[in-house]
């Protein structure tokens, strides 16, 4: 099954889409089917050669099946929603730049209790794609390191522009990086950074470093003997 391109809505200044382009509603994204590339659970490809070089607004939303696949990919309990909105515009010599925001609602396992820890994500992003002719050549340094091309307009170095630009995969990557690395259940989240937690059952004194020390029991017996009044 061939992949369906991401739909787009040209800006007022742009001309009509070329013949043969997707006829979906303006700005709406088409869910990806069985033809999605391996490792791309949320794929919204656009053929770079099929779109006119003019700014356009894009948006996409993951389907239930795509959200389930992404939850497995990132090792979280569930992904309730994931969407993106972005402006794609021509950039530099033959390249493209996408600037927008990723929104999501996800649930991870609490690192303390393993209970569900919901979170809401709204993460801005800026990605760029350049053809090979526009990418600066990496020059080897004496210490074998390579120069990294950075651009102040982007979050990361620009990617090599291939046949397609996949904003769905870009949104998935932004989402994965924005996930809370140490999620905590709602009750624990309000306790603050310095709070201490115990997994001991109610009424049971939690273990401490002092209580498991080899001489802790001997010290307790000695203190008990001194306080009993015995000679």
DSSP states of 94-112:
TEEEEEEEEEEEEEEE-TT
For residue 7, what pLDDT is reported?
Answer: 43
54 neighbors 16 (Cβ within 8 angstroms): no
138 neighbors 109 (Cβ within 8 angstroms): no
- CB burial of 83-118 (b: ≥16 within 10 Å; e: otherwise) equals bbbbebbebbeebbbbbbebbbebbbebebeeeebe
Per-residue pLDDT of 103-138, as tens digits, reads: 999 999 999 999 999 999 999 999 999 888 877 664
Neighbours of 138 (CB within 10 A): 11
Per-residue pLDDT of 137-152, as tens digits, reads: 644 344 444 445 666 7
pTM, rounded to two decimals? 0.64
Strand partners, 61: 83
pLDDT digit string (tens) for the chain, length 231 residues: 444 444 444 444 343 333 333 334 344 445 554 445 556 899 999 998 888 888 999 999 999 999 999 999 999 999 999 999 999 999 888 889 999 999 999 999 999 999 999 999 999 999 999 888 877 664 434 444 444 566 677 888 888 888 899 999 999 999 999 999 999 998 875 555 555 555 556 666 655 655 556 666 666 667 766 555 555
Residue 231 CB-half CA count within 13 A? 0
The C-alpha atoms of residue 29 and residue 189 are separated, in whole angstroms, by 36
């Amino acid at each position: 099954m061939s992949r369906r391109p991401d739909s787009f809505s040209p800006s007022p200044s742009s001309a009509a889409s070329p013949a043969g382009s997707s006829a979906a509603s303006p700005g709406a994204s088409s869910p990806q089917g069985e033809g999605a590339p391996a490792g791309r659970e949320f794929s919204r490809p656009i053929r770079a050669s099929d779109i006119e070089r003019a700014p356009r607004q894009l948006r996409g939303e993951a389907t239930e099946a795509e959200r389930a696949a992404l939850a497995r990919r990132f090792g979280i309990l569930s992904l309730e929603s994931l969407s993106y909105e972005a402006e794609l515009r021509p950039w530099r010599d033959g390249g493209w730049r996408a600037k927008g925001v990723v929104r999501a609602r996800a649930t991870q396992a609490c690192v303390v209790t393993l209970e569900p820890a919901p979170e809401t994500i709204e993460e801005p992003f800026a990605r760029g794609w350049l053809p090979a002719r526009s990418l600066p050549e990496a020059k080897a340094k004496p210490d074998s390191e390579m120069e990294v091309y950075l651009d102040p307009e982007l979050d990361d170095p620009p990617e090599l522009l291939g046949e397609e630009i996949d904003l769905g995969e870009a949104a998935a990557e932004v989402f994965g990086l924005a996930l809370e690395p140490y999620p905590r259940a709602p009750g624990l989240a309000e306790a603050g950074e310095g709070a201490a937690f115990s997994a001991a059952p109610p009424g049971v004194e939690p273990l401490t470093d002092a209580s498991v020390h080899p001489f802790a029991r001997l010290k307790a017996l000695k203190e008990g003997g001194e306080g009993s009044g015995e000679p």
